[in-house]
Amino acid sequence: MVIYKEALTHSSVGEYNSFQSDEIHFSNERLEFLGDAILDAVIAEVLFNRFPKRDEGFLTEMRTRIVNREQMSDLAKKMGLLEYMNVKDELKRNRSAMKSIGGNALEALIGAIYLDRGYKKAQWFIIHRLVNQYLDIDKLMSTAVSYKAVFMKWAQKQQYKINWIHEFDETKKDDRHQVTLEVEGEIWFTESNKSRKKAEELCSEKACRKLELNTGIS
């Protein structure tokens, strides 16, 4: 079907559809956007049911460990998805680029399944083909990751100036600590939490995902 061909078509070889007035680009980017949202929802439900006594912070961290860029790229490789990708030849020789391309294609494939077969089938694919077949959730639980440490190591290597802006609101019961991450004077992310350290970690986590840094999760 065309939609699956689209899911496996990278933007480097995508073509514009001249039959549309707004010239929609034929590549997997839109399907990736859709698949990412569906993946987040299904994984959230899986974790919610599997860990009925764990708090929101734990569930959020576990979901991040499952759907992060490195994990999705690894899953795409295990499934052999890259062998079916339509991508420029020069990119095929770039291992770093192909890792990212594979993870994006997997999310696009989920989006394609959803549009073709509906939510239940997409949910079945994520649970049975990804989680049950390739993921070890217990192992992920024991993998301690400091996103701040990974991010700060990157910043030091790049010789970038990092600034943490901390605000404390005594009137709030929860999320009293608001932390803003500045990189070279530019605001990147702002997060609030009961713990200042956790707010900094949440900002760092987003920074790692933005930069597609290797956090050591495999």
Domains and CATH numbers, the chain: 2-141 (1.10.1520.10), 147-211 (3.30.160.20)
* Mean pLDDT, range 8-27, rounded to an integer: 62
Maximum CA extent, the chain: 58
Per-residue model confidence as pLDDT tens digits over 44-54: 999 999 999 88
Per-residue model confidence as pLDDT tens digits over 100-153: 788 889 999 999 999 999 999 999 999 999 999 988 888 777 765 678 878 888
Nearest alpha carbon to residue 34 among 2, 3, 73: 3
pTM equals 0.65
| Cα distance between residue 130 and residue 99, in whole Å | 17
Asked if residue 151 lies in contact with residue 168, where contact means CB atoms within 8 angstroms, the answer is no
| Cα distance between residue 68 and residue 144, in whole Å | 14
Active-site residue set: 36, 107
Mean pLDDT score of the chain, rounded to an integer? 84
